[in-house]
Amino acid sequence: MFSMDEDNQTQMTEPTTIAAETSISNANHRLVQSSVQDIIKLYEQYENDFYMTSKLHHYLRDHLPAIMKTAEQTRLKNKQRNMEHQGVQERFMMDFLNHHRYYYHSVNERFFRYQDGHFSGTTEDDILHHIVSTISLQHNELLMNRKHQTKVMLLKRIKDQSILKAIPESETIQRVIHYLCPMLCSTKAETKYFLTILGDNLLRKPVQNTTHYISSMVKTFLASLNQISIEQFHIQCTNSFRYKHHDKHDTDGFRLVKIQPHWVCDSWRETRDHIQQYGLDVLCVACHYSRKYGSADDYVLDYSNDNDLREHVFYLKQKTPLELVQEFANQFLYDRRNTEEGQKIPLGISASPQEETFLHQHLQSSSSQDEQGKLPWAHIQYLWKTFLESHQYPSGMYCSYNKQILMTDIFPDHYDSSTDSFVDIGSSQWPLIQKFLSFWNETITVETDCTMELELEADEIAQLYRRWLYRYKVEKKPKYSHLLKDTQIMDILAYFYPDLIMVDNKYIMNVRCSMWDKEMDMETAIQHWRMEEEDEMDSVHKAYQFYAKFYYEKATQEEGHRRPLLVSKKYFERFFGET
C-alpha cells in the first residue's frame, strides 16, 4: 500500500517538475531574444559612430559580467542572511507557541489562552503585546529588526490553532471530572459519557435522530453551560438533550443520560459561580473527548467497561411501549383479583423487615378502605409520572397511549369508563401517598395575609410527617425512617396542590403546621435570651445558639423526648430582624 502511494506521488511529481522546467526554459528563451533585439537596436542606433559601438562592446564584454557577478554575490549574501533571520525567527515562534498556548475560533473571531491548566478568553491586542514584550526580552537584533513581521506571522499561526481542537493537560481533565463527579454524575464513566455528548454537539457531528434524555432537574445547569458556549463559540452545546418525550422522536435514537439520583442544587449561586469559572474548561474537555472517542455512542460501546451504563443508555431503544408500561405495572400496581388471601402486597419502596411489617399492615388497612376498590386514572397518571422520574426516563413518555395499553393488554376488563378508574387495581405506593395527603389536610393551613412571610422546608415537612405517623404505633414505637423522601414530598405537593408557592423545590411559602408553631418557639426563646443576656441584645448568632440550647434542654425533660424541631439559622435571622 505504501509503495503504491509512493509510486503515485512520484508519478504526480515528475510531470509537475517537467512542466516547471519547461516554463523556465521558455521564459529564458524569451529573455534572450528580447536582449538580443535590444543590443541590435543599440548597434543600429550608433552604426555610424565607432566610438559608441566600441563602448557598447566594452561594456558588454568587461563591465556587464562584473556587475552580474556582484549582483549574484549580493543575492547569495542576502539569501543567507534571510535564512539566518528566518531560522532565528522560526525558533522564536516555535518556542513561543510551545510555552504560551493560544487558540482561536474563526466563527466569532475570538482568541483564547491556556495557562496553568485553565482556558480563558483573551484579545488580539493582549497577544500582540505579549509577543512584542517577549521579543524585547530576547535582546536579539535580528528579531528586533523583524519585530512587526514576526508578530504578524505568529498571529497567523495562532489563528490556525482552533480552540475546539485544543488538547487539555491531564490536570485540567481531572479537575473537570472531579467537578462534575459526584456533583452531577455518580461515576467517572457517566461523567465521560455526558462530556462526550457535549463535545458531539459542539463539533456538530452528524448523529442523526439521536435524542439524549436527561432529568429536568439539571435544566438550569445545562442552560448556564449552554449560555457560556454561545458566548464563547456561538455554538449551542445542548442541542441533542431533551427533558420530555414526544411521539415524533425516533425510538432507535433514544439515549438515557444518568445523573445523580434526586440531584438538587442547594446553593445555586455557588454552582453558577463554578460554572462561570470552569465552564470553558468543561467545554474544551468535552471537545477533546468527542475527538478522542469518536462519539458518545462509540464511547459507551467501544471504550467504557461500565455494563450498567451501557444498559441504561440504550434501555429505551430496546423497549417497546408495551414492555415499559408492563414494567410500570409490575412495580407500582397489582391486581386484587389475582392476590390470594394472606399474600403480601408488593411494596414499591425499600424497607427493613420491621418497616415492611408496619407498611404491609398499613397498606392492607388502607386498601380495604378504598372507595369500592377503584384506582382513579388521575392517580395512576401521578404514579406513572413517579415511575418515569424514579428511573430517570423522559417525562411525558407514552402518556398518549399508556392508558390504552393498561386497558387492553395488562388489566383487561378492569376499566370503568363511568368513573374513569380501574376496578380491583391497587398500588403499593398509593396508600402511603394518601396517608401523606391526610397529614397535609389535617395539619397544614395556608395563610396569605400573614404579616410575616411563612415557610416550611421540605426537610421540616418530612420530620413533621414522621411524627404525625407515630399515632399508628402499636405496642412499641415502629422503627422506620422517612416513608417519603423530601423530593417525593415536593412532587406530591406540586401535583396535588399546584397553587402552592414553591421556591427552589425546597420551600413551601405561606403555610403553617398545627403541630409546630415555629414563630412562637422563636419568640419564646428570644424573650428568655433577652432576659438572661441583656448586654448582647443585637447578637443574632448568640440568640440562635441560645434558641437551640433552650429547646434541646426542654426536650430532654419531657417524657419520651425526641430531638426538637429547630428552624434554620437563615429563617431565624429573618424573624429576629422583625422582632
pLDDT one-digit tens code per residue, 267-304: 455 567 778 888 999 999 999 999 999 999 999 999 99
Cross-strand bridge partners of residue 455: 509
Torsion sign over Cα 148, 153, 156, 158: negative
Predicted pLDDT at 198: 95
Local structure of residue 536 (DSSP, 8 states): -
Torsion sign over Cα 288, 290, 296, 301: negative
Higher pLDDT, 318 or 109: 109
* Chain-centre distance for alpha carbon 209: 21
pLDDT confidence of 79, banded at 50, 70, 90? confident
User: Does the structure show a pLDDT above 90 at 531?
Assistant: no
pLDDT confidence of 360, banded at 50, 70, 90? very low
Higher pLDDT, 391 or 203: 203
pLDDT confidence of 160, banded at 50, 70, 90? very high
What's the whole-number mean pLDDT along residues 46-59?
Answer: 87
- Residue 481 class from Cβ within 10 Å (0-12 exposed, 13-18 middle, 19+ buried)? exposed
Average pLDDT, the chain: 80
What's the whole-number mean pLDDT along residues 375-397?
Answer: 86
- Residue 428 class from Cβ within 10 Å (0-12 exposed, 13-18 middle, 19+ buried)? buried
Predicted pLDDT at 512: 87
Q: Which residue from 465, 492, 248 is spatially nearest to 379, judged by alpha carbons? A: 492
Lowest-confidence region among 38-42, 102-106, 200-204: 38-42
pLDDT confidence of 181, banded at 50, 70, 90? confident
Higher pLDDT, 260 or 444: 444
Predicted pLDDT at 280: 94
Predicted pLDDT at 555: 62
User: Does the structure show a pLDDT above 60 at 340?
Assistant: no
Higher pLDDT, 473 or 76: 76
Amino acid at 258: K
* Cβ atoms of 543 and 529 closer than 8 Å: yes
Give kind and range of the element (H or E) at residue 235.
Answer: none
User: Does the structure show a pLDDT above 50 at 156?
Assistant: yes
Domain ranges within the chain, ordered by starting residue: 20-165, 170-318, 321-428, 517-579
The grid cell for 551 is 429547646
Q: In this predicted model, what pLDDT tens digit does every residue of 397-452 receive, in sequence order? A: 888 888 999 999 999 989 988 889 998 888 877 777 878 888 898 898 888 776 66
Of the segments 8-17, 87-96, 100-109, which one has the largest average pLDDT value? 100-109
Q: What is the DSSP string of 305-324?
A: --HHHHHHHTTGGG--HHHH
Q: What is the largest CA-CA distance in the chain?
A: 144
| Rounded percentage of the chain residues whose pLDDT exceeds 70 | 81
Please state whether 162 falls in left (phi above 0), alpha (psi between -120 and 50) or beta: beta
Is beta strand 444-446 parallel, antiparallel or unpaired with respect to 511-513? antiparallel
Higher pLDDT, 31 or 337: 31
Predicted pLDDT at 269: 57
User: Does the structure show a pLDDT above 50 at 344?
Assistant: no
pTM over 0.75: no
pLDDT confidence of 129, banded at 50, 70, 90? very high
Predicted pLDDT at 339: 60
Q: In this predicted model, what pLDDT tens digit does every residue of 540-572 receive, in sequence order? A: 778 888 878 877 777 665 544 566 788 887 888
Predicted pLDDT at 164: 95
Predicted pLDDT at 166: 94
Q: What is the DSSP string of 453-477?
A: --EEEHHHHHHHHHHHGGGG--SS-
